[in-house]
Structure 1
């Protein structure tokens, strides 16, 4: 919606003049430049939102999307500090870009993401264990999971199946409740989307 408004800004300005209600903002180069920045940033946020809402993802996938976006924010911030707005296509069409202002906006957004998703950051080791139980360092695992991890890591069939099947299927089909109760409980708690593991 914001992008469409930006694209029609001249027509909107003309229409408002005809209605005898001119909008001075639409002829202010600084305001238009800020709008261009928001158009680009909103486009990235919309794309992140789209990726987060995709069906069939596990919590570690969502965390990967969030982490990647936070890294992008830091990249954009660094590039803006260097007066580079390459990744902001709409903004790059303008001169007199308020780089320092946009650096601050990106920094603020990055801080908000860090605060909002700090629970995910605190669970990063759990996600890593969940996604790579075959390679996870047993010494670093929670003590109640260590024995079962050793069993998985030393079982050639399970190692093969882990590489060959979807992660959900590995926990559902190949880790029997009798032999791996703690790992299955761990997976159930971590991921609600599993259904009946």
Structure 2
């Protein structure tokens, strides 16, 4: 409800003005009220998020422990930031205060191993998700067993902000090798005798690193028999 009110604050101000509610309009539009409202939206959003993570059929004492530890770490982070005059922990409040802070952190450090980094190593807007990931014991075990790309793709639905930043770096082309390989393969497939061929499927098979399981595919087909 608070979030919806904050989103519609301009429309609410127009409504109060149209109803000639001068006192309500002036108080609602005051800087102090707008900043307070923004803070309330952020803090209740954070509390609601923690409450939801402590519920569900698949929740156990271990996940409860991880969630509470992550939230306590967030509280310490929020306190430290506020003492420095930094409202980045509170999205709407930060926007209301027009607090734009330059981010000079090294973007790749947390991607290599998020469990050996601190929150200061990542951007302000993803620090809270980073803390949740860092204290997720299941994710820490998964990180040991899979490569970087697979790990970040797996946790993209769970931690979308920080995973998206990691995948943006990991999916950058390091060279033109893949493009050159694809073009060479295209030239070999689409000759002058096959210039009308729709090469999308053939090109995908030719460039894929996944080897087809020919025996399994053949086993599912019925051989033609004589009549």
Q: Normalization by structure 1: what TM-score?
A: 0.45
Q: Which has the higher helix share?
A: 1
Higher relative contact order (CA 8 A, sep 6+): 1
